[in-house]
Structure formats: structure tokens, C-alpha cells
């Protein structure tokens, strides 16, 4: 063999070796890549696969119930049944339009067999396919029992459809205690690291009243489930279902017997009723009219009804008991008399000669008796609601002293009741007037306040707190709406009132109801001794003659149990419009053996 042949053969061998080395290198690179993919990164890829095939669904907590103090259910949950389509069972090969067309045809056939007419919203189907494909698509929300029975007969003929249910809020007492209870709306949770879900079933969230104030207690804890989907995103199966937890029940201080009694007393009027337990501040009844039925908001209120309620001049959304502010009129006079007594301005027998008006500068403040009451002491002035007497007494006492007592009783600030949107009212002062009108306080302002007019604005609940303190001897309790057995009401203040100071006020209020000529004589009930005070407060332009009518009372007189306040907007007077309603309340309490 020649040298050239040997050289060529050697070069070929070298090339083969180099090629083999390169091939081995490439195989090792591929092998290492496969090892990294199949072994090292196996967990990572499995997790990514799980993310692609698993969807997390949030299941809302089951809302707790609300009861009155006697165990009557005021708010509960009921199942709402709907017909839903499981879209994974209606897929068709080809484009998504094929599937959508099949879904709409299947729904139309179902309606035909059920004998009903209902539009098929193709846009909603497309939206559901895009955003919530694994979830059942509701084709008829909230079906009747009759429709559900007919569907069950035909269900085998229509595979892919099923009955589903969700809990919705129900208020068995209808519109009774509507403002107290409030209402709920649909909750829309926010996705976060703590709540990493893909879909959710709508829950309920408190929007007003007790439902809002105690929403956290009532809401319960959310549950959840994992649903596995296929490569197209359609539902495959459920995994790891965690049931939601029911929220806590709430028991109110309200007595529904007395609540409904108060609602009947106020029926047909715009206004409010508040009933407090004078011994602990418990809210026994709270009414605001016109009201609403909380069931209208569950699961959601229609736009038409909401618009109608918003535009209603009666303002049914306004809880007048805690948010409505009004001049209290003559119901404020017992506070003026008490302030004068505790500051030794007068004694309870001192008289004032009423000529039918009180002159302040160039202004005459008239009594209802234009001919004058003549000589009256404190008790008779409360009984007859003499404006002239209390204008005189207020100016003799001085507004600083009046302001101090009124402030301590809670006027001009929120009572702290556990209900949303409470108003503070207005307890004016010299600084308040300077800030508002750039004017100092005048004698006419004191005279107006002394008869419950002028800048003074109170809520019915604030006035009920005052009556409660007059009835129990000076204990000012924060009004309580939720009952906690064994826990006394929270005492905000203990007024340092002596018996000899408060007794003339009580006796004057007793005469209002029990005396033959008392301004509240129409509230008298045979067999029950009561104390009260009427009030008629002007508002708006004087030429229009608009008035709100009040009466406050506590019963029984000798062992007080309940403080009652009734306001009627645009009433004739406290004595003619409201006193008969107080009588109705007292008669009802008497029949219940509550007094």
C-alpha cells in the first residue's frame, strides 16, 4: 500500500473520530436537556400544568340570621332555584360559533317543551364562554315551583341542563322593621394573594341597617372548590370542595310585637316612632315611615323600582328615627324647666303671668292661647305648654346653663347607636352661630331655643334619650340595638339630678296626659298612668304655616318602663295629631301586659 493511500485512510479515520466525538457531545447535550426537563424541572412543569387545568372557585359564606328579642326570625336565607346549562356537554366540533349555535338551539327547544317564552341572549352566552366557561350558565334565574316541577319531568330529554340553587336573603316580616334591618346586595370579592381564586359565586354584603353594621359578624367564612378543566377550558370535575361556614346569628333588642304596634300607630303618616327601655337603653321599637321591603333588594333591586324609590318625595330610604333632624318644639320645655331648677333660678311654685305672648325686643313670641294663660307655675306651664312662661324662664336661666344640660344629655352629637348614617343634629352656640352666620348669640335665640325652635335640630332618638333620663332619674344610656344577655346597657352619663328638682317636671308631664285640660289629654288610657309632653314645631317659611307634630311620653308613671317618642311630619299639632297615636301605643302595651 502506498504512502498516499495510508495518509488518506488516516485522515478518514480522524474525521470519523471527530464526527463520533461531536455526535457523542450532542447526545450528551440532548441527554442533559432531557434530564433537566424530565427530572430537574418536572415539579415546575407539573405545577404549570396544574395551573392550566385547575380553576379555583370561591364559595361565599352562609349569612347568619337575625332575630328579635323573643326569637322571632327577622332575616333568614332561602334557596333560589335556577335552570342552568353545562356548556361542556353542548360542545360541537369546529369553530366556537358551532357550539354557541348548538347552545341557543338546545335552550330554545327546552323553552318550547316547557311551554314558556324567554329570550336567549347570545351576547351573554359569548361573554360567559369568554370569562366563566367552566361554570354553569344560568338560562333562567329564579324559577317558580311549577316551572321546576315541569322541568324535572322533562330533564332526561334535555341533557346538559340542571337545577342549581344559591342562598338569597329573605325577610319573613316583609317591610316591618325595614329601616332597622337594612338590606343586602351582591358582594364582588377582589382577587389577591390571600384570595387567589379564578371565579366566584356571588355572596351577600350588608348595605344598610343592622345588615351593614354587623356585616362582619353575619357574613361567615367563605369556602371554595377546585374544578378541573380540559384543554379547551370546559368543566371536567370538582376536586377538594371546602364547604363555606355559616355566619353568627344576631339577636336584636327589638320586640316585634311592639314594633308592629308602633308601625300600625304611624300608618298613613310620614314620621317616626322610637320606643326605649328606660332602664337600660334597649331599642324596643324603631319606625320610620314611609319604609321599604328589604325583600325587594334580594338578590338585587330592579332599576325601575330603585328609580321610583329615589324619586319618591316621601323619601322611603331616609331613616327618620336616627337621620331625620327637626325642631323639637315644646317637647324641649321639660329640659328648660329642669335646668332652671337644678341651677336654683326659680323654685317650683314661682309663677309667671302670661299675657298671651312674650316680647323680645321688637318681636312678640305668641302662645297658642292668644288671650293669655294668666298666672302659671312650672307644673301648669308644662301642662298648658305656655310659650311665654318658657321664654321668660329660658332668659332667666341663661343659655350657657341650658347648653350644658342639653349637651350632657346628648343633643348636638350622635347617640352612638350601632346603626349607620346617624345624624348629630344641631345644638347651637355662640361660636356655632358666629361660624355659620358671622353673628353673635342674642336674647331672641335663647327665647326660641327655650320653646324648641330656632336653630335647634334633634332626631327622634335623641329626644327619646332625654325622655328616658327624665323617667329613670338621670341615667343616660347609649341606645342599644343588639341584645347581649347579662350585659347592662352602656351608661354615657349620670345626671346629678335631685328628686326635688326632677319631681316637678315629672308632675307637670303627668298633668299633660292626666289633667282634664292637659295638652296631651287625648293620650289618656283608663287604668294606666302616663307622663308626656306635646310639641308643635314650625319649619320653613312662616307664611307657609308648615308644622311638625310631636309627643313624647313614658309609662307607667310610677314605675317607668318605656319611653315613647312619636313624630308626624306636617301634622296639625302634637295634642290633636300625635296624642291619639300615643294612646294607641299605651293601649297596645296594656293589652300585652307590658305595663
Domains of the chain: 55-251 (3.90.1310.10), 264-302+318-591 (3.40.710.10)
C-beta neighbour count of 414 within 10 angstroms: 15
Q: Tell me the average pLDDT across 111-133.
A: 81
pLDDT surpasses 60 at 155: yes
Q: For residue range 207-240, what is the model confidence (pLDDT) as tens digits?
A: 999 999 999 999 988 776 666 655 555 545 556 6
Q: Could you report the per-residue pLDDT of 400-451, keeping only the tens digit for each?
A: 999 999 999 999 999 999 999 999 999 999 999 999 999 999 999 999 999 9
- Percent of the chain at pLDDT > 90 equals 61
Q: Which 8-state DSSP code applies to residue 578?
A: I
Q: Is 15 helix (H, G, I), strand (E, B) or coil?
A: helix
11 has pLDDT over 70: no
Query: What is the percent of the chain where pLDDT is above 70?
Result: 87
Q: What is the pTM of this model?
A: 0.84
pLDDT tens readout for residues 159-188: 878 787 788 899 999 999 999 999 998 876
CA distance 291 to 244: 33
pLDDT of residue 545: 86
Q: Which tens digits make up the pLDDT trace of 529-552?
A: 999 999 999 998 888 889 999 999
Query: Strand 363-366 vs strand 357-360: parallel, antiparallel, or unpaired?
Result: antiparallel
In tens, the pLDDT along 33-92 reads 666 666 555 554 444 444 445 666 667 778 999 999 999 999 999 888 888 887 777 888
Higher pLDDT, 295 or 189: 295
C-alpha cell at 428: 347651637
Distance CA 178, CA 66 (A): 13
Distance (Å, rounded) from C-alpha 378 to C-alpha 392? Answer: 12
CB contact set of 530 (below 8 Å; sequence gap of 6+): 510, 513, 514, 523, 524, 553, 554, 555, 556, 557, 582, 586
Cβ(98)–Cβ(125) below 8 Å = no
Instruction: Say how far apart CA 525 and CA 529 lie, in whole Å.
Output: 8
The confidence band for 125, taking pLDDT boundaries of 50, 70 and 90, is confident
| Mean pLDDT value across the chain | 88
In degrees to the nearest 10, what's the CA dihedral of 459, 463, 469, 470? 170
Task: Enter the C-alpha cell of residue 450.
Answer: 327655650
User: For position 62, what pLDDT does the model report?
Assistant: 86
So what's the pLDDT on residue 194?
Answer: 56
DSSP string over 415-430: ---SSTT----B---H
Q: Which residue has the higher pLDDT, 510 or 543?
A: 510
Amino acid at each position: 500500500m502506498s504512502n498516499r493511500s495510508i495518509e488518506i485512510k488516516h485522515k478518514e479515520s480522524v474525521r470519523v473520530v471527530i464526527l463520533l466525538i461531536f455526535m457523542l457531545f450532542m447526545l450528551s447535550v440532548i441527554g442533559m436537556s432531557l434530564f433537566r426537563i424530565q427530572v430537574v424541572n418536572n415539579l415546575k412543569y407539573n405545577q404549570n400544568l396544574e395551573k392550566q387545568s385547575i380553576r379555583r372557585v370561591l364559595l361565599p359564606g352562609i349569612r347568619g340570621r337575625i332575630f328579635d328579642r323573643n326569637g322571632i326570625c327577622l332575616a333568614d336565607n332561602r334557596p333560589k332555584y335556577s335552570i342552568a346549562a353545562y356548556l361542556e356537554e353542548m360542545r360541537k366540533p369546529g369553530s366556537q360559533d358551532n357550539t354557541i349555535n348548538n347552545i341557543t338551539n338546545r335552550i330554545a327547544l327546552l323553552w318550547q317543551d316547557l311551554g314558556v317564552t324567554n329570550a336567549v341572549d347570545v351576547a351573554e352566552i359569548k361573554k360567559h364562554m369568554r370569562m366563566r366557561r367552566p361554570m354553569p350558565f344560568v338560562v333562567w334565574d329564579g324559577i317558580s315551583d311549577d316551572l321546576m316541577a315541569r322541568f324535572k319531568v322533562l330533564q332526561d330529554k334535555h341533557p346538559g341542563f340542571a337545577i342549581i340553587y344559591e342562598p338569597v336573603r329573605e325577610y319573613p316580616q316583609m317591610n316591618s322593621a325595614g329601616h332597622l334591618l337594612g338590606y343586602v346586595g351582591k358582594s364582588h370579592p377582589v382577587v389577591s394573594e390571600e384570595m387567589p381564586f379564578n371565579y366566584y359565586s356571588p355572596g351577600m354584603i350588608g348595605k344598610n341597617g343592622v345588615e351593614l353594621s354587623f356585616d362582619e359578624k353575619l357574613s361567615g367564612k367563605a369556602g371554595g372548590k377546585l374544578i378541573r378543566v380540559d384543554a379547551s377550558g370546559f368543566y371536567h370535575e370538582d376536586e377538594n370542595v371546602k364547604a363555606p361556614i355559616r355566619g353568627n346569628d344576631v339577636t336584636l333588642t327589638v320586640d316585634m310585637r311592639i314594633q308592629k304596634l308602633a308601625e300600625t300607630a304611624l300608618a298613613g303618616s310620614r314620621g317616626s316612632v322610637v320606643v326605649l327601655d328606660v332602664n337600660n337603653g334597649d331599642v324596643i321599637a324603631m319606625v320610620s315611615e314611609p319604609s321599604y321591603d328589604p325583600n325587594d333588594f334580594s338578590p338585587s333591586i330592579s332599576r325601575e323600582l330603585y328609580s321610583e324609590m329615589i324619586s319618591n318625595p316621601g323619601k322611603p330610604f331616609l331613616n327618620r328615627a336616627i337621620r331625620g333632624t327637626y325642631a323639637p318644639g315644646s317637647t324641649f320645655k321639660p329640659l328648660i324647666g329642669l335646668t332652671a331648677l337644678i341651677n336654683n333660678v326659680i323654685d317650683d311654685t314661682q309663677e309667671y303671668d302670661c299675657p298671651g305672648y312674650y316680647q323680645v325686643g321688637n318681636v312678640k313670641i305668641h302662645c297658642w292661647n292668644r288671650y293669655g294663660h294668666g298666672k302659671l307655675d312650672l307644673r301648669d306651664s308644662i301642662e298648658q305648654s305656655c310659650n311665654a312662661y318658657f321664654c321668660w324662664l329660658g332668659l332667666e336661666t341663661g343659655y350657657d346653663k341650658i347648653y350644658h344640660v342639653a349637651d350632657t344629655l346628648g343633643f348636638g352629637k350622635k347617640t352612638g347607636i350601632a346603626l349607620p348614617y346617624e345624624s348629630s343634629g344641631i345644638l347651637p352656640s355662640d361660636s356655632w352661630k358666629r361660624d355659620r352666620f358671622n353673628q353673635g348669640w342674642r336674647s331672641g335665640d335663647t327665647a326660641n331655643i327655650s320653646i324648641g325652635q330656632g336653630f335647634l335640630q334633634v332626631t327622634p332618638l335623641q329626644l327619646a334619650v332625654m325622655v328616658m333620663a327624665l323617667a329613670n332619674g338621670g341615667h343616660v344610656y347609649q341606645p342599644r340595638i343588639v341584645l347581649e344577655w347579662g350585659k347592662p346597657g352602656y351608661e354615657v352619663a349620670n345626671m346629678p339630678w335631685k328628686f326635688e328638682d326632677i319631681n316637678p317636671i315629672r308632675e307637670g308631664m303627668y298633668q299633660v296626659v292626666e289633667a282634664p285640660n292637659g295638652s296631651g289629654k287625648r293620650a289618656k288610657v283608663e287604668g294606666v298612668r302616663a307622663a308626656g309632653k306635646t310639641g308643635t314645631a314650625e319649619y320653613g317659611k312662616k307664611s307657609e304655616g308648615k308644622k311638625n307634630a310631636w309627643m313624647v311620653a313614658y309609662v307607667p308613671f310610677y314605675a317607668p318602663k318605656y319611653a315613647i317618642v312619636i313624630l308626624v311630619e306636617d301634622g296639625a299639632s302634637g295634642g290633636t295629631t300625635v296624642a291619639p297615636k300615643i294612646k294607641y301605643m299605651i293601649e297596645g302595651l296594656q293589652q300585652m301586659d307590658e305595663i
